[in-house]
Structure 1
Amino acid sequence: MPLSPQARLRGGLFGLLIGDALGVPYEFHSAVSISTVSRIEMAPPPDFERTHDGVPPGTWSDDGAQTLALLDALARDRELDLEMFAGNLQDWFHRGAFTPDGKVFDVGLQTQRALQQLASGVAPAVAGPVDERDNGNGSLMRCLPVIMVTTSHEEIIRLACKQSLVTHGHARSQLCCALYCLTAVGILENMSAADAVRAAEDELLTRYAGTAEEAELKVALDGRFDAPQGSGYVVDSFWSAIHCLLSTRSYEDCVKRAITLGNDTDTTAAVAGGLAGIVYGEEALPARWLATLRGKEIVERLLAKL
C-alpha cells in the first residue's frame, strides 16, 4: 500500500531524531575506528570509547533541538518570523529548550558565533556568517520541517534558504538546504529517492541560471562526485547522506551506513535519517530505537500545533 503523507512526514521527523541520537556516541570517531564496532546501537559496546559520555542513550543533540526549534517557529508562523526562530535558538542554547532534559551538550562553532551575534543585537537575517569557510552543516541538519508547512516548491526554496540565514548566511549553505528540502518533497510526492535528487538539481539549475547564485549551486552539485566522508562541510554532509540513502534498502541500514562514515556521525545520520524516514515511513523505524528515543512527548506536542 502507498504510504500516506502523514506516515512519511512523521517518519522523516522521527527518522531524523533517531539518526541524530544514534550517531551521538560515535561523533568525531574515524571511519576506521567505527568499522570495528560489531554493533551500532543507541548504546555502543562497553569497550567502545563513546563520545559525550554521560549523555543517556536515545538523546538527540543540537541537530534535533534546532529542528524542533524551527518546527515550533513554523507552526506559529508559516512565513517564518526570523526573530521568533532566533529566539527559539537562544532558548535552546541558554536554557535547554527543545531538548529531552534541558541539557545542551553539542554546539557547532559557527552556530555559536551566530548566537553571539544575536545576543549582541545583530538582526537574525544577517547573523549567520557569510565567508566561504562558513559553510558548515548546521542549517542543513535542521531544515526538514520546511516541507511540513509549505504548499509549493517556490515556498520550499524560499523558506529553506530563509531559515539558514540566522546561523549560516553563505549562499552555498542556503542552496544545500533548498536542495535537501526539494529532494524530501520529491520523495513525498512519490518519486524514487534517486529521481527526487535529480529533479531537485534540475529545478534549482533552472531557477538560478544566469544569477549570482548559479556558481555556488554548481559547487554544491559538484560534491556528488566526491567520496562521502561524513564531514561537517555542508556539501559533503548533503551528498554523504544521499550516498547512504541510495546505497541501502532500509531505514536501519541507511543510518548505520551514515555512522560508519565517521566524523560528524550524528549530523550525517540525522540528515540521511530524515530522508530515509520519508522514503520508508514511520512504521519502518526500528521499534527498539523508537522506544529508546527520549523526549517523544515534546515532538508530539509540536506536531499537534501543525
Structure 2
Amino acid sequence: MATAGQARLSKTLGALLGVHAGDSLGATLEFDSWQQIQKHYPNGLRDIIGGGTFGWPAGHATDDTDLTRAVLLAYHDRANYKMLKNPGKDFDVARSAADWSLDWYEGDWPGRKKGQGPIDIGGATRIGLSEYSTSRDPRTCGAGPGSAGNGSLMRCIPTALFTDSREERIKESKAISAFTHNDLRCTISCAAYNEIVAALLSGMEPQTAVDIGVEVAREQNSSDVEDAIERGKKLSLSRFASEGPGGELPDNTSGYVLQSLTVAIAALLDPRSFEDVVVDVTRIGGDTDTNGAIAGGLLGARDGIESIPERWLETLQFRAEFEELAKDILGLASSPTKGLSAAYKKRHGLV
C-alpha cells in the first residue's frame, strides 16, 4: 500500500503530466470538428502521433504545456527563494510566472530557435504578454473584461500542487490568470479548478472535490463559473463522443473558458480510465489540445501518474523535467537543484 507521501507524489506528477498528455494527444486534432474526427478516427485517436494544423512532433508541448511549464518554473523559483538571505521580502510568484511566460513569448525556450516566437498563441495571451513586456507589472496587463478564453485555465495547475493554503491558492490562481486573462470568468475558473485539484490531492472523492469548486465560485460571487461546474455534472462525455456535441456544447468547444471547465468537470466525474476519458474529450472536436490538457490535469490528480498510459508518457517532451522539478519543489529529489534559476537571478540583478 502506498504511503500518503507516495500517493501525493503520484497525484502531483499525474496532474502535471496529465496536462501534457492531454495537450499532446489533442494537438493532432486541434480545430477539427467532431464529424472530421469521426471520419478519420471513429473510435477516437488513441496514440500521441503529432501532426495537426501546426505539424507538431509527437509528444511536443503546445502553448498549453509550455505555459504550464512557465508557471511550474515560477513555483520552483519560489521553493528555492529561501536560498537568498532576504527573509523580509516576499516572492512574487505571479511576476515570476509572467517572466517565464514572456521568455516563451519572446523566443527563449527549449525546442525553438533562439528569438523565434511561439508557433501557436491565443489572442488574450498575446495581448497580456505584449503589455507585460513594457510594464513588467503583472497586475496591469491582461486582455480585459469580455475576453474569456481558456488560455489561463490550461496553465494554472501548479498553483494547486505547490501552494498550501486555500486562501493563498485562490489569490495566486487569480493573479497568475490575470496577467493575460483578467476577465472574472477566467480568474475565478482558475481558482475553482485549483481547489478541485487540491481536494483530489488530499484524497477526496471527485464529487466532493467538485462540490468544493462550486463553493469557491459562490464565495467569489460568480454564478457563471458555478453554472459551468453544475453543467459539467450532468454531461455524458461518452454520448458526446459517439453522437457529437450538438446544442449542449455549441461551437465545437471552441475555447470559451466556461465551456472548457464544463467539459473538464464531466471528465473528472466519468469513472472510466484516464485514457478512455481523455480520448473522448478530444473526440468532441474544436479546441482539442486545451480541453485535453485541462481535463487531463484533473484526471491525473484523481488517479495518479500510473493511470496515464506509458506509451503516452514516453513521448512527452517535458516528462523528465516536470518530474524533476516537482520532486525538487516537494523536497524529494535525489539531486536537488541548489538555489534560484539562472534566468531568475539575471532578471532581478542577483548575478
> Please, what TM-score do these two structures have when normalized by structure 2?
0.78
Question: What amino acid does structure 2 have at the position aligned with 1:150?
Answer: T
- Equivalent residues of 2:217, 2:225 under 8 A apart: no
Structure 1 residue aligned with 2:225: 220
The aligned counterpart of 1:52 is: 54
Q: 1 CA distance for matches of 2:260 and 2:284? A: 11
- Aligned mate of 2:142, from 113, 128, 148: 128
Within 1, Cα distance between the matches of 2:260 and 2:27? Answer: 16
Shift of 1:295: 3.0
Cα separation, 2, equivalents of 1:286 and 1:112: 33
Aligned-partner SS, 1:88: helix
Moved more, 74-83 or 250-259: 74-83
2:335 aligned residue: none
Report if aligned partners of 2:192, 2:216 keep a CA contact under 8 Å in 1.
Answer: no
Which residue of the other structure, out of 322, 326, 350, is the alignment partner of 1:299? 322
- The answer on whether the counterparts of 2:274 and 2:307 sit within 8 Å (CA) in structure 1 is yes
Match of 1:276 in 2: 299
Is 1:254 equivalent to 2:267 in the alignment? no
Whether the aligned pair in 1 keeps the contact of 2:217 and 2:223 (CA below 8 Å) is no
Give the deviation of 1:130 after TM superposition: 1.8
Q: TM-score under structure 1 normalisation?
A: 0.88
The alpha carbon displacement at 1:72 in A equals 0.8
Q: Distance in 1 between matches of 2:71 and 2:52?
A: 29
Distance across 1 between alignment mates of 2:172 and 2:157? 11
State how 1:97-112 maps to structure 2 within 5 Å: 97=109, 99-101=110-112, 104-112=118-126
CA shift at 1:246, angstroms? 1.8
* Contiguous gaps of at least 5 residues in structure 1: 209-213
Instruction: Determine if the alignment matches structure 1 residue 66 to structure 2 residue 67.
Output: yes
Contact 1:74–1:80, Cα closer than 8 Å, also in 2: no
Which one-letter code corresponds to 2:27 in the other structure?
A: V
Residues 194-233 of structure 1: pairs in structure 2 closer than 5 A? 194-205=207-218, 207-208=219-220, 214=221, 217-223=222-228, 224-225=230-231, 227-228=248-249, 229-233=252-256
How far did 1:27 drift? 0.4
The alpha carbon displacement at 1:100 in A equals 4.4
Matched position secondary structure for 1:141: helix
Of residues 15, 25, 29 in structure 2, which corresponds to 1:26? 29
Aligned twin of 1:211: none
RMSD after superposition: 2.0
- In the TM superposition, residue 101 of structure 1 has moved relative to its aligned partner by 4.9
Q: What is the Cα deviation at residue 92 of structure 1? A: 0.7
**Range with bigger deviation, 82-91 or 71-80:** 71-80
Change beyond 3 A, Cα 1:184–1:95: same
Q: Deviations over 1:161-208 (max 9, x none)?
A: 111111011121110001100111111122221221112212442x33
Which amino acid is 1:42 matched to? Answer: I
User: Structure 2 regions of 5+ residues with no counterpart?
Assistant: 80-90, 233-247, 330-351
Rounded to whole Å, the distance in 2 between the matches of 1:176 and 1:295 is: 26
Aligned to 2:84: none
Q: How big is the shift at 1:84? A: 2.3
Specify the code of the residue in structure 1 equivalent to 2:273: S
CA distance in 2, matches of 1:219, 1:26: 28
Residue 181 (structure 1) aligns with: 194
CA offsets 1:79-100 (integer angstroms, 9 cap, x no match)? 5433322221111111242x44
1:91 is aligned to 2:103: yes
Q: Quick one: structure 1 residues 119 and 257, their matched pair in 2 at CA, closer, same or farther if it must change by over 3 Å?
A: same
Larger Rg: 2
- Distance of aligned partners of 1:81 and 1:191 in 2 relative to their CA distance in 1, 3 Å threshold: closer
* Percent identical residues: 31
- The corresponding residue for 2:8 is 5
